[in-house]
Structure formats: structure tokens, C-alpha cells
Chains A and B, each alone.
Chain A
Amino acid sequence: MKRQNVMRATAVAALLSLGLTACGSGGGGSEEASSTLRVTLANHVWTDIIKEAIPEFEAESGLKVELTQLGEDQLSDQYNVKLNAGTDEIDVMMYRPLQEGKLFAQNGYLADLTERVEGNAEWDWSDFQSGPVEATTFEDKVVGVPLITEREVLYYRKDLLEKAGLEVPKTLEELEAAAKQIKEENPDTAGFVARTGRSAAVTQFSSYLYSFGGDFIDDSGKSAIGTPEAKEAYDYYGRMIREYGPENVSTDMSWPEAMAIFTQGGAAFYTEADSLYKNATDPADSKVAETVGFAPMPEGPAGSKPYNVPSWGLAINEASANQDNAWKFIEWATSKEKTLEVQKAGVPGPRSSVWEDPEGISTYPKDLAEAIAVSAENGVGYDRPLVVSVAEAREIVGDPIVAAITGEDAAKAAEAANTSFEAFLEDEK
């Protein structure tokens, strides 16, 4: 007798839980222009600064900001999963225009901001540098607002140079000679360090490629990594790390690993993005904070041609029902005042007016500000192949870098990569 009662109760419970599941999927997402704004940002110095100022925005606008903050890779995966599913749970999104911009825009994830950016004269869209603006524009539509810009500069150790009696290298040839001399004179210190990971190294290698007169893709849209210039660049970059780099060098290094070697005093020269300079000058993280110097990217056969790119931008999710409020946030976060404030705290921005303002570079080491000015002048607007599937392309063009680092024939590796890259580009058309 008891058994039946139990059975009924179970049946009811089961049906109830079924019903609840059904309801669960139906609810949510129906409210229009909610006063809660969902903002997804990457882990970055910029985010840390803006996070503290968010209460200020909330007071001004009466909106409530719900912040999600993720590491670079997790952020990519989140976007991949959520945007693929057509989520409306993201309103404002921080993204990498050169890495994901084309893909996201092509998939229709990014809202068209053209009217909005042009509609506010005071906020002043024309103040944004043209290179970054180009990177956040897709098929003549503005789909994002540049946030952080970066250029490759040479980090070096003043003390080691002085000890060796050397000048700051102005050309890649001088850089190699200096790295060689310092490595020979100081057995425990590497002459040179830079990123070594197949994919991670591509962006920093790009400045070498351009300075040797090469490029990833030529004007006709064909692969250019098999040209003599590119082969020379691969060979040079690989040789610098193989011959004058740290012992037992790993082929997986991205900037945190390479930066750690430099800031622990393990290397004399390091080429890296300028936006990371705080890692080297902050005494809490860096043993070389007192002795680090900055110089423009050394000249190659084709001159000094570092990249000058917007590494991050802000965009609005096309599926968001809260686009007007999302725009308010972007307007606030990228205003002249905020950009100046953030730039003074160490994050280079995309606004010309801020760079022209002496206050905008007042907190920067003097040599760094000079190096940035040079790079901004002759910089190239991209640091990786401009394609849709950037991750795949980076692995292909990055292959010869690691091959050269491990002592394989760089020219041969470049030939092989050239064939794969050609097929990849053909496939993407």
C-alpha cells in the first residue's frame, strides 16, 4: 500500500521537474533595454583602471554594470560558444580587432556603429588614429571602437650596454653584434630574448618581417612568406634566439615567459609591445626596473617598420537588446577624458589629441615616449595576416619561426609554409 503512494509522489516529482526544465528554457531574454548592462572585458591593465571608475559611470547613467572579466584565451572561447549560440547575454564586448574582428563581423556578431560614432561631435570620431579605425571597420561599416594601441619597441638593459661600451643599436645588424658581444662577456646572461611560441611569436616577428622588406600577403592577395626577404627575416629572428638567447630556450614562450626572463635580469635585449612596458618598469615585478631603457625598433634593410596596431577594441553584440545603453558605456569609456586618464596610467590609447597633449605622455619614460613617436610615424597597421581564420594562419606563418629557432633551415621551412599558406588563402577566398 505504501508502495503506491511513494510511486505517485515520484511520478509527480518527475513530471514537475520536467515541467520546470521546460519553463527554464523559455524564460529570460525578453526584457527590452534593461537597466542592467552586461559588459565582458579581458584581463588587462586597461580593465583594472576602468573597473575602478565604473561606479562613476553608474551614477551618471543610472545603469547597473554587470562585469565579466576573463583571460585572453577564455574570452575567445566564451565568445566562440556564446555568440555562436546567438546569446543576448553580452551587451558590450572587448575584442581583438586584428585577431577576431573579421571573423566576428563576417558572422554578424558585431552591431553596426557607423551612425553612432558619427553622431556625436563632442566625442569626436575623427580624433581616432586612422590605422586603428581601419582595423575596426568591416566592409565600410564601423563595427568597433579602438581601445588600446601598441607598437613594437626595443627593451634594453642600460647597465649591460654601458659595461660593454656599446651604443643603443640603431640597426638590426648592430643589434646582433651587441647581443653577441654581451652574451660572450656575460655567460649567464642572454644577449637577446623574444617570444618563441609558434603562434605567439608571429605578431612580434612581423616588425622584423616588414623591416627586412617582407610581408605576410602581397598586394595580389597571395602568400609572401616564401620571398627572399621573408626568408631572411625568419633566419634572423631564429638565429638571434638560437645563438644569443637563453640556454634551453623553450619554443612555447609568449610574452609572460619572455618578459619574465628579461625582468629577472636574464637578457640584454628584448623586442616586445610597448603597451607591456609597465611590467619592466614596475619595481614590484621587475629586477631591472632601474636599468631598463627603450628604443625604436632597429632598422633593417627596408628601414625601421614596426607594427602599430589596435590590440583591443570595444564592440556591441548584434543580438543584444540593450544596444543604446551599450553605446553609452562605450562613449564613456572611450571619451577624451577617460582615454587621457587611462593613457597616463600606462595604457597607450588610440586618440591623436591625447598623444599630442604633453600631459598624455607625461608619465611615460622619456625614451619610451620618443620610441613610440617614431613607431607611430612609420608603423604598419597590422601585426598578423589579415584573414578570417587568424588562429590557423598564425600557426602556418609561425612554423618557420620555431624551425629557425631550433636550428632547422629557415629558408626550407619558409618554402613549406609558403605552400601551406598559399593553399590556406586560396581556401579562404
Chain B
Amino acid sequence: MTALSTETPQPGPAPKGPKKTGWQAYSDWANDHRKWLFAAPAMVFVGILIVFPLAWTLYLSLTDASGSVRAESDFIGLENYAEVLTDTQRFWPAVGRTFYFTIGALAIQMVLGMCIALLLWRPFKGEKFVRVVILLPLVATPVAVGMMWRLILDPNIGFANQLLNFFGIPGQPWLSSPETALTTLLFVDVWQWTPMVVLILLAGLTSLSDEPDEAARIDGATAWQRFWYVTLPLMMPTVIVAVLLRGIDALKTFDILYATKGKGGGSFNEVETLNIYAYGLSFDYMDYGVASAVLILFFMIIVACMWLVTFRRKGSK
């Protein structure tokens, strides 16, 4: 190894010297291509676990694969997409539910998260204890959360209705009624994920400097004015990160919906979002072609949303 270290350590093409041992030749080669070599493990990982499945799904979405993936299937072009995009029974309602759930949950989580973050911002007694308690829902497994809420909200034996009855209020159907199920789950999502928003926003708040706020205070701004015109604009990058992370997560929500309402999102498909629909198509109906088309469309929707948020951010700068 000491002999090797006499070589020029500079990057770029190695000088073409005459006669090299195998190890030296390899070493030079490695040196020349080190940006590829370093990135190789990550690239292989991305290739095997992301690019290949995506490409395979794209391929499946153009075939009529069903029953068994190994069975012969025909290439049918965009037929699956045409079928899905004209399906007003399941697909479009599922799109609607996905957005209702995502936008509703995200809006409440952002407002609530901001309020809690502002409350926790200034030091107070018992601060650490409160922070830990607030984070508890975040560490629970979503499926366990779903099952727990399912028991709490059971119309006959659940805790929620017993509590209501105790105060003389009639029991509510919660998850069991097609009208209220999705909204109920939206609030379960709020319960679970608001802490994450709090965490991100709190990190943003603590990194702010006090001067602008102080200056505004001296100029006689009210608390609301200081928040709206000073703190919030300064917080914007953090808010966008929170919106982006939580938004994508909420779009993809699967576990609490599946754990509480099962396959198909209930007897009226009342909580069937795009994810649940695609799962049902592939695992219940074994319609792999159509399921793949739904997933590709879903993927495009997510990419579009991401692009919108980041584009807006760049535009506003």
C-alpha cells in the first residue's frame, strides 16, 4: 500500500504510464470512475427497488394481465387507462375521497400544528413533559392506531358512545355510517400526524432570530400582526416542507383506512381512496393491468402535486 501512495492523488484522467500491475490498473480505473463507484450502491438500490418496479408497473398497465401474473397477457395499449378514466363508479369517487381526505387533514393539521408549535415555542414549566406527551400518537404504529380507534368508536360497545351516553347525548355511528366514516378517519389522521407537523414547525420557529419580532413589537404591532407579517413569512420555507411531507403522506394513507374499514373501504366503498382501490383491484379482483393503470395515474397525481408546491415556492422567491 505504501508504494501506491506515491502516485499522484489528483483526480481526472491518470497519466498514461507504461506497464502497470493489475492492481494498479484497477486502482487507476477506480480513480477515474470514482463518482460512479461511490454512487453505485445507491444506484443499484434505486434501480432494483424503485426504477424496476415502476417500469414493471408501467408495463403491466399496458397489458390485460389478470388472474396470475405468470399467465399470458396481451398488450392492449392504453385501454386500461381509458377504462379507468371513464369509470365514474369507483375511480373518480376514489379520487374525490383521496383529495377530500388529504386537503381536509392537511389543512387542519397545519393550522392546529402551527397553534401548538407557537404555544410550545416559549419556554414554560413542564415543557419537556408536554412535548413528550404530544409526540405519543406519532410513535404508535398506524395499524395499531386504526384498531384502537375502531374499538373506541364501535357503535355498540365502544368507549366513545358510552362517554356520550354518560352525558346524555345519543351515540353516534362514527365509522359505521357511510356519511361519517371518512370524516371520522380524517380526524384520526389529524390526531396521529399533527405532532409531526408540530415537530417540523417548532424546529423552524426555534431557528428564527428574535430581532424582526422585536422590531415589530417596538413599532407597536399587535400579536396577530407580528405573527402574520413577520413570523409566518419567515417560516414559509419550513411550512412548505411540512406541507410537502405531510401532503404526500396523507395522499398515500392506507393503513388506518384498511385497518378500520377493510377491503374495498367498507360496504359502500365509503372510505375507498385511490390506494385502497388499487389494492382491491390487485389483491381481490386480481386485475393487475387495471390496478397498475390506477397506480400509474396516482403516481402522476402525486408528482403533479409535488411539482405544484415546489414550483410555487420557487416562483415566490
Which 10 A-B pairs have CB atoms at the shortest separation, nearest pair first? A250-B176, A248-B155, A198-B267, A391-B284, A107-B68, A1-B5, A402-B267, A251-B267, A11-B30, A392-B285
The answer to whether B204 has its CB under 8 Å from any CB of chain A is: no
- B264 contacts A250, CB within 8 Å? no
- B70 contacts A86, CB within 8 Å? yes
B153-186 Cβ-contact flags toward A at 8 Å (1 or 0)? 0111100010000000001110110100000000
The answer to whether B69 has its CB under 8 Å from any CB of chain A is: yes
Q: Which of B32-40, B93-101, B105-113, B215-223 lies on the face that meets chain A?
A: B32-40
- A4 contacts B27, CB within 8 Å? yes
- A197 contacts B41, CB within 8 Å? no
- A252 contacts B266, CB within 8 Å? yes
User: Which of A7, A80, A247, A251 meets B30, CB within 8 Å?
Assistant: A7
The answer to whether B136 has its CB under 8 Å from any CB of chain A is: no
- B40 contacts A248, CB within 8 Å? no
Chain A minimum-CB-distance residue to B270: A251
- B40 contacts A4, CB within 8 Å? no
Min distance, Cβ A423 to any Cβ of chain B, angstroms: 12
How many positions in chain B have a CB within 8 Å of any CB in the partner chain? 41
- B171 contacts A73, CB within 8 Å? no
Task: Check A196/B267 contact, CB under 8 A, given A17-B41, A261-B156.
Answer: yes
Q: A246-B156, A406-B178 are in contact. List 15 more A-B contacts (CB 8 A).
A: A4-B5, A4-B9, A5-B5, A8-B30, A18-B40, A80-B286, A198-B267, A248-B156, A248-B161, A248-B171, A248-B173, A251-B176, A251-B268, A264-B157, A391-B285
- B7 contacts A4, CB within 8 Å? yes
Interface positions of B (Cβ within 8 A of A): 1, 4-5, 7, 9, 27, 30-31, 34, 37-38, 40-41, 44, 67-71, 154-157, 161, 171-173, 175-176, 178, 261-264, 266-268, 283-286
**When chains A and B are docked, how far (Å) is the Cα of A422 from the Cα of B270?**
24
- Consensus secondary structure, chain A interface: helix
- B286 contacts A77, CB within 8 Å? no
User: Which of B37, B155, B267 meets A197, CB within 8 Å?
Assistant: B267
Chain B minimum-CB-distance residue to A266: B156
User: Which of B1, B31, B171 meets A247, CB within 8 Å?
Assistant: B171
Min distance, Cβ A86 to any Cβ of chain B, angstroms: 6
A-B contact pairs, 29 of them (CB 8 A): A4-B4, A4-B5, A4-B27, A5-B1, A7-B31, A7-B34, A8-B27, A11-B30, A14-B37, A14-B41, A80-B286, A107-B68, A107-B71, A196-B267, A197-B262, A198-B264, A199-B263, A247-B156, A247-B171, A248-B155, A248-B156, A248-B176, A250-B175, A251-B267, A252-B175, A389-B286, A391-B284, A392-B285, A402-B268
User: What is the total of A-B residue contacts with beta carbons within 8 Å?
Assistant: 109
A8 / chain B contacts, CB cutoff of 8 Å: 27, 30
Chain B minimum-CB-distance residue to A264: B157
A82-106 Cβ-contact flags toward B at 8 Å (1 or 0)? 0111100000000000000001001
A391 / chain B contacts, CB cutoff of 8 Å: 263, 284-285
**When chains A and B are docked, how far (Å) is the Cα of A319 from the Cα of B192?**
44
User: Which of A73, A107, A197, A247 meets B67, CB within 8 Å?
Assistant: A107
A234-274 Cβ-contact flags toward B at 8 Å (1 or 0)? 00000000000011111110000000110010100000000
Chain A minimum-CB-distance residue to B42: A14
**When chains A and B are docked, how far (Å) is the Cα of A86 from the Cα of B70?**
8
The answer to whether A3 has its CB under 8 Å from any CB of chain B is: yes
- A395 contacts B264, CB within 8 Å? yes
Interface positions of A (Cβ within 8 A of B): 1, 3-5, 7-8, 10-11, 14, 17-18, 21, 73, 76-77, 80, 83-86, 103, 106-109, 196-199, 246-252, 260-261, 264, 266, 388-389, 391-392, 395, 398, 402, 406
**When chains A and B are docked, how far (Å) is the Cα of A16 from the Cα of B141?**
36
- A76 contacts B157, CB within 8 Å? no
**When chains A and B are docked, how far (Å) is the Cα of A320 from the Cα of B72?**
22
Min distance, Cβ A111 to any Cβ of chain B, angstroms: 16
Chain A minimum-CB-distance residue to B280: A391
Min distance, Cβ B307 to any Cβ of chain A, angstroms: 32
B156 / chain A contacts, CB cutoff of 8 Å: 246-248, 261, 266
**When chains A and B are docked, how far (Å) is the Cα of A24 from the Cα of B34?**
26
Min distance, Cβ A22 to any Cβ of chain B, angstroms: 11
A402 / chain B contacts, CB cutoff of 8 Å: 267-268
A76 / chain B contacts, CB cutoff of 8 Å: 283
Task: Check A3/B9 contact, CB under 8 A, given A14-B37, A198-B267.
Answer: yes
B37 / chain A contacts, CB cutoff of 8 Å: 7, 10-11, 14
- A84 contacts B263, CB within 8 Å? no
